[in-house]
A = this chain, B = another copy of it.
Amino acid sequence: MAKAARKTSTGTDQSNGQIQPKTARGEATRKAILSAAERVIGERGFNEASIGHITSEAGVAQGTFYIYFKSKDEVFSELVLEMGRLVRRALSEATQNIENRLDAEKAGLTAFLEFIRAHPDLYRIIQEALFVDPEAYHAYYHTFAEGYRSGLEAAVKAGQIKPGDADTRAWALMGISRSLGERAVIWGDKTPVEDVVETAHDLIVNGLKP
C-alpha cells in the first residue's frame, strides 16, 4: 500500500528505477543491504521481515535503506530479478555444450538442484513473489518455460525425443525440478543430488512403465 517514495537519495535514479551509488563506499553499503535483505526475507518471509531487521542485519541505520532503495517492495523485486539471472546463468553454463537433449535435461536438473541447495533463501523468495510481485513471478517462470519449450521443439525436430506438446511438457518438467528442489530446500531432504537426478532422469527418459 505504500505510495511510491519520492527521491530521497543523491544517487542517480536510473531508468530501470534503481538508485545507483556514486562511490565505492556507497556501492558496498548497497550490496550489504541487498544481501542482508536476501537472508532476512528468505528466512522470515516478506511480511515478517522489517526494514529494521534488514538494516540491523546489514549493520546500518534504518534511514540508510532509503538512500539505496525506494521501498521495501523494490528491494524484493530486485532480489527476484537477481535470482532469475543467477539460475539462468547456472543452467546455461551447465548445458551449453551438450548437444543431446536428454543429456542436457540431466545436466540441467543437476545444476538446478545444486544451485538451489546453495541458495535456499532465494528459492523461498521466488515462491513469495507470487503475492508480493506477481509480475516478477510471471517473468521468472515464463522465461524458463519459453526457453524450455523451444528447446524441446528443437529436440523433437532433431529426432532426439518423441513428438508431443512442448508447452505442456515444459511446464511438467519445470514442475519436477521445482518440486524436487523444494523437497530438498524447504523440507531438508538429504537424498544426494546424484541419486535424485538418477531417479528423476529415468522417469523423464523412460517413464514408469515396466
Contacts and interface: CB of A to CB of B under 8 A. Distances in A.
Interface stretch (A81-89, A91-99, A191-199): A191-199
A62 B1 CA distance: 21
A117 interface: no
Given A169-B199, A172-B180, A206-B206, A130 B124 contact: yes
Contact of A207 (B167, B187, B205): B205
Interface residues of A, number: 52
A171 interface: yes
A159 interface: yes
Interface string A168-205: 11011011111110110011000100011001101111
A208 interface: yes
Contact of A208 (B161, B180, B210): B161
A22 interface: no
B208 A130 contact: no
27 contacts: A1-B48, A47-B131, A101-B208, A127-B130, A127-B131, A128-B130, A161-B208, A162-B206, A164-B202, A164-B208, A165-B199, A168-B191, A168-B195, A168-B196, A168-B200, A169-B199, A169-B200, A171-B180, A172-B180, A172-B199, A174-B179, A175-B176, A176-B176, A176-B179, A204-B208, A205-B209, A206-B207
